[in-house]
Amino acid sequence: MGALARTDICIVGGGIVGTALAAALSTSAFASHLKVTLIEGGDLFALPDERTNYFSNRVSSVTPESAKLLKRIGAWDRIPEDRKKPFAQMKVWDALGNGKLAFNAPQTHAASCMGWIVENSWLRKSLTESLGSSVSVLNKSFVEDISSGEGSGLEWPILTLKDKSKIQARLLIGADGANSLVRKYANIKSSGWDYPQKAIVATLKVENVEGNNNDVAYQRFLPGGPIACLPLSANRSSLVWSTHPATAAKLSKLSTKDFASFVDIAFRNPVEDLKYLTGLIQEDGSLPSTVNLEEEAAWGRQRLVEANMNQIGAPPAHTTMPKISGVIETSRAGFPLRFYLSERYVSDKRAALIGDAAHTIHPLAGQGLNLGLLDVGTIAKVIEEGLQSGSDIGNIHTLQNYASERFAPNLGMMLAVDSIGKLFRAESDPIVWARSFGLNMGIPFQDSRTWP
Amino acid sequence: MNRVLLRFTLSHWQSTRSLTTAASSSINAEEVSKFAAASAEWWNPHGQFGMLHKMNPPRTKYIRDQVLKHLNPTLFPPSATPAHPFKGLRILDVGCGGGLLSESLARLGATVTGLDASPENTAMATYHVSLDPSLSPPPTFLAEPIEHHLQNTQQKYDVVTSLEVIEHVNNPATFLKHCLQSVKPGGVAVFSTINRTRTSWLLTILAAEHVLKWVPVGTHDHAKYITPEELEGFVKGSGENVQVVDVRGIAYRVLENRWEVLGSEADKKALGNSLGFGDLEMNYIVTVTKGME
Ligand SMILES: Cc1cc2nc3c(=O)[nH]c(=O)nc-3n(C[C@H](O)[C@H](O)[C@H](O)COP(=O)(O)OP(=O)(O)OC[C@H]3O[C@@H](n4cnc5c(N)ncnc54)[C@H](O)[C@@H]3O)c2cc1C
């Protein structure tokens, strides 16, 4: 066995959540003396593409509360203004019923915005730049094994990296995503399911945008899952389209141009048009030469507007859905969607789980990362308080304070998001009426955080 | 907010430390064997001392805040930082038991000496600090009563602590006097114990020992519980230039499963009277300062 390096806190996983925690600890007056080791299997320092008006396909909506945390850490101001697009409105509607909702940013909110859409790559870059000197980064290092320190004279967990070097840590943080190794080591069960859906993401070109230079987020609930269009700049938006895996496979094969038309149809046309046209997609992704997508789409839209007394499937009043005029080449990608919940967040093996390692949810409400950042804020606070009372911060009694603050709220959000997803997958009439009614009740939303 | 406060007293969990009594005369042999048996269990977070482990952080935080407020500024070493506010301070923890409080004070930067009359306890505490490489310097644990320590060493301390101990000694007045004699001029002492009330009898003797069987029957002797007035009397009668500057209740919030040091009487006045606020019915903690001359 080689020399055993020792550290106070070892964070496995340099995703946005793990990196945010490392940055938070290293900038805290009470915790910056702790040795923090951040281990990332991928490349933590991969640079974002900085070309103007070019956007990565992986983006997150960031709530004002998350932004506040990022600001405190020092990361938020490192993200250039043109890389964090504020949105002031969110318009949501049902493709099958006549339920619709428009949320506005609360007037009282200082930033007067509901949130920002930011590329994950920029979040990561700004966070790595905020890491203080107490953090040692082990980049492109994969943790292969974790064992309890029993028998080593010190009962702290021991991590073995791919290059066989070993690290022993007082406190082990699992920020290693949905398939967390730390969770396995801590013997924490995780249960849930894979949604019968896949998410397709892409960067869209948009025209005829609404509001102040495209500051509206749109989401339409289709029978196969929600489709969302999130603003990135005056003429770019980001797509997250959750749909049946079979449909996703077909859509992925379409040419970029046809795919853009399908996205446009998915937002603007009656559901039947989308079903019919999707059925026409051939094995190789082409469409029969007899089909003129433009004409089909125009005809369907006409129907939706003119012959639709009940406004079935139409967006909220005073909405001009921007025209999806194109899709950036190679920006299309697919992601599996899951609901997984760890039965505990902490264990007496000196381990705690944060972010997707603790909870994985459907992206329909854009909350996954935001929940992870709330975890970061809480566990950093719990560690600081532990230090101020002279506690052993790896001790279960310290960690328990984190779990008891975050478990219930996270679970509440997870269940809310899941039931919205389920509700909107239902196509039977009574449920469609019920959800239309629910949406139209105009439940007063105080704050973007209460969305969904 | 839920204001229902149910309290339990926990002095028994602390009791392993009981033996640090004042004069040899004050050492109670029966008590020694009673708690030494439990020492191996001391550090198990889920064991019978689990409640005490939970009580330790709010108590330590209280000590931290009181010392920062009341220690004479001339005693503050320049080496203190926000992360290590006690760096350079010398602290005596009387009745240290398995070393729970001593370790916490050491993590705040202090150089700690822990006293306990039970050699099993000090052995256990010494072993346990060796498990944490960051405790440097680690606390020193001595198996001797306070009066011997006073005689054997000329040392006086910036801070002296003795938590949940007084109710287990035979002669609390003498014990307190010895503790206060060990404090430097300008220094601070912190004591905690259980009040002698009907509530404390119900909860510590009837509930904890007989009904819930959290601790062995006979762990407590209700007659030995001390009221805040008695404690203040002992402090005044110690012959030292000392003064009680703060008294707070410690409550267990059942629903949240955590301990809390309550607001002071002054806070209580400022905030209005809400149920249980500043209540001294059960466990309470007291800060004493020593004058400079
Ligand atoms: C299509 C889609 C859209 C989304 N949109 C939003 C949104 O708008 N808003 C929002 O809040 N959330 C959104 N989410 C959710 C969000 O992306 C995740 O919740 C968030 O990225 C989780 O971050 P994390 O750091 O916890 O985990 P991850 O991002 O999964 O990071 C885990 C890291 O750990 C590393 N790792 C894993 N195992 C090891 C090991 N053994 N050794 C070393 N390193 C290891 C991995 O390389 C990875 O970098 C979306 C998700 C999807 C799929």
Lowest mean pLDDT among A146-155, B8-17, B25-34, B151-160: B8-17
CA B208, CA B266: separation in Å to the nearest integer? 32
The band of B183, judged by pLDDT with boundaries at 50, 70 and 90, is: very high
Lowest mean pLDDT among A82-91, A212-221, A411-420, B169-178: A411-420
Q: Residue B19's pLDDT is what?
A: 36
Domains annotated for chain A, with CATH where assigned, are 4-45+55-76+119-193+338-423 (3.50.50.60), 195-335+425-449 (3.30.9.10)
Residue to mutate among A36, A347, A392, with most B CBs inside 10 A, is A392
3 state DSSP class of A293 = helix
Lowest mean pLDDT among A256-260, A435-439, B63-67, B116-120: A435-439
The band of B4, judged by pLDDT with boundaries at 50, 70 and 90, is: very low
Average pLDDT in the B252-271 region?
A: 71
User: Which two three-digit tokens encode residue B144?
Assistant: 């001797």
B242 to chain A, closest Cα gap in Å: 26
Statement: residue A303 has pLDDT above 50: yes
Q: Are the Cβ atoms of B61 and A388 closer than 8 angstroms?
A: yes
Q: Residue B79's pLDDT is what?
A: 84
Annotated binding-site residue? B209: no
Give yes or no for a contact between A13 and A159, defined as CB atoms under 8 angstroms apart. no
Q: Residue B9's pLDDT is what?
A: 29
CA of A133 to the centre of ligand 1 (A): 25
Q: Residue A434's pLDDT is what?
A: 59
The answer, yes or no, to whether any atom of ligand 1 lies below 6 A from the CB of A367, is yes
CB atoms within 10 A of CB B267: 12
Statement: residue A19 has pLDDT above 90: yes
- Bridge partners for A204 per DSSP: A237, A327
Q: What number does CATH give the domain B3-14+25-290? A: 3.40.50.150
Q: Are the Cβ atoms of B57 and A155 closer than 8 angstroms?
A: no
The band of A146, judged by pLDDT with boundaries at 50, 70 and 90, is: very high
Average pLDDT in the A100-117 region?
A: 70
Q: Residue B196's pLDDT is what?
A: 76
CA angle A448, A451, B2 (to 5 degrees): 90
Statement: residue A232 has pLDDT above 80: yes
CB atoms within 10 A of CB A69: 21
CA A421, CA A224: separation in Å to the nearest integer? 10
Q: Measured between CB atoms, which of B50, B104, B106 is closest to A389?
A: B104
Average pLDDT in the A259-280 region?
A: 94
Interface size A-B, in CB pairs within 8 Å, comes to 61
CA B264, CA B266: separation in Å to the nearest integer? 5
For the stretch B98-129, pLDDT in tens is 899 999 999 999 999 999 988 888 888 888 88
A101 compared with A96, residue with greater pLDDT: A96
Q: Are the Cβ atoms of B107 and A29 closer than 8 angstroms?
A: no
Distance of CA A275 to the CA centre of its chain: 27
Give yes or no for a contact between A382 and A405, defined as CB atoms under 8 angstroms apart. yes
- Bridge partners for A202 per DSSP: A239
Q: Are the Cβ atoms of A8 and B134 closer than 8 angstroms?
A: yes
Protein residue closest via CA to atom 4 of ligand 1: A363
Give the residue from B125, B47, B129 showing the smallest Cα distance to A348: B47
DSSP E strand stretches across A111-189: 115-119, 135-139, 143-147, 158-161, 166-174
Statement: residue B266 has pLDDT above 70: no
B76 compared with B91, residue with greater pLDDT: B91
User: Which two three-digit tokens encode residue A136?
Assistant: 């040692």
Average pLDDT in the A323-351 region?
A: 95
Statement: residue B285 has pLDDT above 50: yes
CA neighbours within 13 Å on the CB side: how many for B242? 30
CA A171, CA A157: separation in Å to the nearest integer? 8
Q: Are the Cβ atoms of A154 and B60 closer than 8 angstroms?
A: no
Give yes or no for a contact between B22 and B165, defined as CB atoms under 8 angstroms apart. no
Q: Residue A38's pLDDT is what?
A: 98
Average pLDDT in the B282-290 region?
A: 92
For the stretch B129-181, pLDDT in tens is 888 888 878 999 999 999 999 998 878 999 999 999 998 888 999 999 999 99
User: Which two three-digit tokens encode residue A397?
Assistant: 């009694």
User: Which two three-digit tokens encode residue B3?
Assistant: 């204001």
CA A127, CA A363: separation in Å to the nearest integer? 22
CA angle A287, A292, A298 (to 5 degrees): 130
Give the residue from B163, B185, B171 showing the smallest Cα distance to B59: B163
CA of A355 to the centre of ligand 1 (A): 8
Q: Residue B252's pLDDT is what?
A: 79
Q: Residue B258's pLDDT is what?
A: 80
Average pLDDT in the A183-194 region?
A: 95
- The Cα-based distances of A281 to A251, A268, A293 in angstroms read 8, 19, 11
Annotated binding-site residue? B168: yes
CA A261, CA A276: separation in Å to the nearest integer? 14
3 state DSSP class of A101 = strand
Residues 6+ positions from B234 with CB-CB distance below 8 Å:
B172, B173, B176, B177
Mutate to test the pocket of ligand 1, among A10, A11, A17 (most ligand atoms within 8 A of CB): A17
Atom of ligand 1 nearest to the CA of A369: 11
Contact with chain A for residue B267, Cβ under 8 A: no
Rg over alpha carbons for chain A, rounded to the nearest Å, is 23
For the stretch A84-94, pLDDT in tens is 999 998 898 98
Q: Are the Cβ atoms of A33 and B132 closer than 8 angstroms?
A: no
Average pLDDT in the B235-245 region?
A: 95
A176 compared with A3, residue with greater pLDDT: A176
Mutate to test the pocket of ligand 1, among A356, A367, A371 (most ligand atoms within 8 A of CB): A356
B293 to chain A, closest Cα gap in Å: 31
Give yes or no for a contact between B128 and B104, defined as CB atoms under 8 angstroms apart. no
Statement: residue A400 has pLDDT above 70: yes
Give yes or no for a contact between A321 and A102, defined as CB atoms under 8 angstroms apart. no
Residue B208 DSSP one-character state:
I
DSSP-H helix ranges across A282-428: 293-306, 368-388, 396-425
The band of A160, judged by pLDDT with boundaries at 50, 70 and 90, is: very high
Contact with chain A for residue B60, Cβ under 8 A: yes
> Tokens 């094994």 map to which residue?
A145
Using the CB atoms, write b or e for A414-448: b if 16+ within 10 Å.
bebbbebbeebbeeeeebbeebbebbeeeeebeeb
Q: Residue A452's pLDDT is what?
A: 31
Question: What does the domain layout of chain B look like in residue ranges?
Answer: 3-14+25-290
Burial class (CB in 10 A: 0-12, 13-18, 19+), A193: exposed
For the stretch B213-235, pLDDT in tens is 666 777 777 777 889 999 999 99
Q: What mean pLDDT, rounded, does chain A reach?
A: 90
CA B253, CA B283: separation in Å to the nearest integer? 13
Give the H/E segment covering residue B284.
strand B283-290
Average pLDDT in the B238-257 region?
A: 87
Statement: residue A148 has pLDDT above 70: yes
Q: Residue A441's pLDDT is what?
A: 52
Residues 6+ positions from A285 with CB-CB distance below 8 Å:
A250, A252, A253, A254, A255, A258
Q: Residue B273's pLDDT is what?
A: 42
Statement: residue A445 has pLDDT above 70: no
Lowest mean pLDDT among A187-196, A296-305, A319-328, B52-61: A296-305
- This prediction's pTM: 0.88
Statement: residue B267 has pLDDT above 80: no
- Residue in chain A closest to B106 (alpha carbons) equals A390
Amino acid in the structure at residue A27 = T
User: Which two three-digit tokens encode residue A330?
Assistant: 């190679």
* First-to-last C-alpha distance (Å) of chain B: 47
Q: Residue B21's pLDDT is what?
A: 35
B79 to chain A, closest Cα gap in Å: 14
- The Cα-based distances of B69 to B65, B186, B288 in angstroms read 6, 12, 12
Q: Residue A302's pLDDT is what?
A: 86
Give the H/E segment covering residue A216.
strand A216-222
